[in-house]
Structure 1
């Protein structure tokens, strides 16, 4: 049985990721600063900004999945968000590499493209956004994700450890589908995330597959659903909210996603299966 440490396992995405690994016969340890609402595995209370504690919790692990972070911009002073997110990720990757752990997955974000928290109404340069789109954040949360991806590149270059950086769309747990009727007809409410979403269960399967797939090196992957979170067709969403965007890289038929996850599908042999329409009575 392989042992995986999941950091931030007490958070929104954590329980789904832990359950995914348990369902595939992994031994799982949750490293977090708080206990989860539901106990699925052993939790070790760990300050990830303390390198010694990180070495301790990762000892004996075969892989690490790093979810823990301050998860949004502006919830804390900018320097607090940056320091927490950058140093915890650095410590995880540094300790894992030096302990001989061969595979890690870290959590990046669509926020790194800069549109999510822009105060200047930044528009995408083209749609759907793929991993080659410029990353232009105006705040320390998005910047921390870019630094973390560069840290992953550095650790891989130095040690050969495989590190996959997941640029997650808006993470939605199953109980959150009840909120969808409040926004599926209002483009303005979710335009800064390009109406993206990813079900926690689909994200969890991507994390597991990133651990189980070989030869990925250090790579960043968009992780989003196969549709937008809206009941308005994608071309109409762009025309209404981002009329200046004229570069369409794909047909964008129907409710096609504006966060392109094709690279993850190809490299991980992954496919998101949960769609909001299966859980929401359309109004």
Structure 2
């Protein structure tokens, strides 16, 4: 039985990740500063390399979710330091201890549209992994560095599989009603990421597939639903938000998500299953 260490497993996404792993027969240990009713939890500070070595020892794979999740509650230098240093420590300990299967929680924030100090537009739609990463804020920059760390450790040990999952806005099923009301009341509320999202269950499955498929080397992939949170066509919303890109692919239209997840299907066999219409219809 594979023993998986989940960091940040007590958080919004982490709870779903642990549940999915347990449902698929994995042994799971959680690392967090808060308790979990799902799995044994070590209370550890991952910015301390010694503690990180201690919790990684004996594990077969790591799903690293622990981070300050947005830049609005801590000074920017704290957000940057905690997120980057914890990731370095996890990868350093994994490399030294021979834990060669790692999934990292990256973010659509690497693109720079969320939390931007100065407005920017996408260069093209849909957005795939070749689009420039334009983050200006401490959180988005910390995720860009997270990915560079992943690339570096994959160069150090080519046998490692390091997948950076660029999650869109993660929504647990119980949050849909409130989020949809907020988005529909004012379409500009969710213009910060062009109305993209991903169901927490799809995010959890992406984490599991990343450690199951474990392609060698480093890979960054977008993880998002097929559609947006809105009822209007995506291009109409972008025009309203004055965020139209210079180039739009001929096939892009309707309520399609701005994020192209084709690469996720190629690398780990992941495709989104849930949309807000499916979830709301099942409530």
Give the structure-2-normalised TM-score.
Answer: 0.95
2:174 counterpart residue number: 175
Is the 8 Å Cα contact of residues 185 and 231 (structure 1) preserved in structure 2? Answer: no
List gaps (5 residues or longer) in structure 1.
none
Aligned residues: CA RMSD: 1.3
When structure 1 is superposed on structure 2, of 19-28 and 184-193 the one drifting more is 184-193
Counterparts of 1:174 and 1:249, CA distance in 2: 31
Q: For 1:40-189, what aligned pairs fall within 5 Å after superposition?
A: 40-160=38-158, 161-179=160-178, 180-184=180-184, 186-189=186-189
Aligned to 1:256: 256
| Residues 1:35 and 2:40 are matched in the alignment | no
* Deviation >3 Å, runs of 4+: none
CA contact (8 A) 1:194 1:259 kept: no
TM-score by length of 1: 0.95
Question: Are residues 243 and 85 of structure 1, via their aligned partners in 2, closer, same or farther at CA, if it must alter by over 3 Å?
Answer: closer
SS of alignment partner, residue 279 of structure 1: helix
State the shift of 1:46 in Å: 0.9
8 A Cα contact 2:103 2:162, kept in partner? yes
Taking a change above 3 Å as real, the CA distance of residues 234 and 31 of structure 1, as seen in their structure-2 partners, is same
C-alpha distance in structure 2 between counterparts of 1:277 and 1:18, whole Å: 25
The answer to whether structure 1 residue 235 and structure 2 residue 235 are counterparts is: yes
For residues 83 and 276 of structure 1, the distance between their equivalents in structure 2, rounded to whole angstroms, comes to 35
Aligned partners of 2:69, 2:216: CA distance in 1, in Å? 26
> Counterparts of 1:257 and 1:51 in 2: how far apart (Å)?
39
Pairwise CA distance, 1:249: 2.5
The CA deviation at 1:102 is: 1.3
CA contact (8 A) 1:185 1:230 kept: no
Q: For each residue in 1:155-176, what CA deviation from the matched residue of structure 2 results, as whole angstroms up to 9, or x when unmatched?
A: 1100121100011100101111
Aligned residues: 279
Contact kept, 8 Å, 2:121 with 2:243, in 1: the verdict is no
1:207-247 Cα deviation digits (max 9, x unpaired): 11010113341011110001111111112112222354231
Are the structure 2 counterparts of residues 242 and 126 from structure 1 closer, same or farther at C-alpha, using a change threshold of 3 Å?
Answer: farther
Q: Whole-Å Cα distance in 2 between the matches of residues 249 and 88 of structure 1?
A: 38
1:185 to partner: Cα distance: 5.6
Unpaired runs of at least 5, structure 2? none
